[in-house]
Amino acid sequence: MRDSLILDEPGKGVVERPAVSIVVPAFNAEATIDDCVESLLGVDRPTGGLEIIVVNNGSTDHTHQRLNRFGDRIRIVQEGIRGAAAARNAGIRHARGDYLAFIDADCIAEHDWLVKLIAPLSDPQVGIAGGAIEAKENCNRIEKFGQGLYDQRAAIAGSHPNAISANWGSRRNLLIDTGLFDESLVRGQDYDLARRVWAAGYRIVYCEDARVKISTPGTIPALFVKGLQHGRALALIGRKYPSSEPDETPRTIALMRRIMRSAWLTIFSGQRFEALSR
């Protein structure tokens, strides 16, 4: 299956073209997708309006049933090729807006997130706007610690600026021109695309006030697995770009060491959550 199938499209007859398309990739997201979509339905609407596209990426749980509850307030796209890159690309292909905003299915957007995220894109030299990604409120120490894996400011500030797709804004035509997300990469697709956008001469800017809250791992084992996944992404990027090392590698290695040390202390020293401060 290569062509995505639109299962649900709002309205009938001529549909007015929105200015912004929000794309949400979703795989087995029944636990978080309701809160995500509800937050998107409540964001401040930019001039020209918006559409919300949720790409169901072969979910085997009740994600699709939960999405159907929103009726014609969202568009549902089915993408049979697994992977966040394929899901986001399906959203891009079906988007009607000139501007795109990406957010993950386990995120919640602040009400002014969208207008602040797309504001810098009025400058034709800006290729990507990346907003702040924070742990959800009332999180435990482990979840707060895991927020370090989503440091958008650090990603953009490096000598090879990149962006995290859980909170990303771009012009649609620019992403099409630069080749979309690389579906051969299991992880690190956002780093790769951002690198190509930057190499094409565009700026990547950080929007601190464009905030989303993300579900970070809530246990030491889950945090450790997430860190390994992040490390795998860096390895894949390093294989694609062997001449240079991703700038965040030292930071990620340091964070992984902290996670491993914290896990050891938590399991064997009885210090439990206090180990996370070490």
Residue 271 within any structural domain of the chain: no
Nearest of 182, 10, 27 to residue 89 by alpha carbon: 182
Tally of structural domains, the chain: 1
Residue 16 within any structural domain of the chain: yes
Residue 105 within any structural domain of the chain: yes
pLDDT for residue 142: 73
Query: Mean pLDDT across the stretch 166-173?
Result: 98
Residue 276 within any structural domain of the chain: no
Question: What is the chain's mean pLDDT, rounded?
Answer: 83
* CATH number (domain holding residue 57): 3.90.550.10
Residue 11 within any structural domain of the chain: yes
Query: Mean pLDDT across the stretch 236-253?
Result: 58
Residue 274 pLDDT > 50, yes or no?
no
Residue 205: φ, ψ to 5°: -120, 150
Residue 159 pLDDT > 90, yes or no?
no
Q: How confident is the model at residue 124 (pLDDT cuts 50, 70, 90)?
A: very high
- Under a CB-based contact definition with an 8 Å cutoff, are residues 25 and 55 in contact? yes
Q: Whole domain around residue 66: which residue ranges?
A: 5-216
Pick from 104-108, 122-126, 270-274: least confident: 270-274
Residue 167 pLDDT > 60, yes or no?
yes
Query: Mean pLDDT across the stretch 119-124?
Result: 97
Residue 3 pLDDT > 50, yes or no?
no
Residue 144 within any structural domain of the chain: yes
Of 8-22, 149-163, 197-211, which has the strongest mean pLDDT? 197-211
pLDDT for residue 138: 75
3-state SS of the chain: helix, strand, coil percent to 5? Answer: 45, 20, 35
Residue 242 within any structural domain of the chain: no
Q: What percentage of residues in the chain have a pLDDT greater than 90? A: 62
Residue 170 pLDDT > 90, yes or no?
yes
- Under a CB-based contact definition with an 8 Å cutoff, are residues 56 and 64 in contact? yes
Residues 6+ apart with CB under 8 A from 29: 36, 59, 61, 63, 105, 106
Residue 278 within any structural domain of the chain: no
- Residue 217 gets which letter from DSSP? -
Q: How confident is the model at residue 229 (pLDDT cuts 50, 70, 90)?
A: low
pTM over 0.85: no
Whole-number CA gyration radius for the chain: 19
Residue 199 pLDDT > 70, yes or no?
yes
Q: How confident is the model at residue 242 (pLDDT cuts 50, 70, 90)?
A: confident
Of 56-60, 215-219, 230-234, which has the strongest mean pLDDT? 56-60
Query: Mean pLDDT across the stretch 94-115?
Result: 98
Give the DSSP letter string of 124-184: TTEEEEEEEEEEPTT--HHHHHHGGGG-HHHHHHSSS----TTEEEEEHHHHHHTT---TT
Report the distance separating Cα 194 and Cα 205, nearest Å.
11
pLDDT in tens, 29-82: 999 999 999 999 999 999 999 999 999 999 999 999 999 999 999 999 999 999
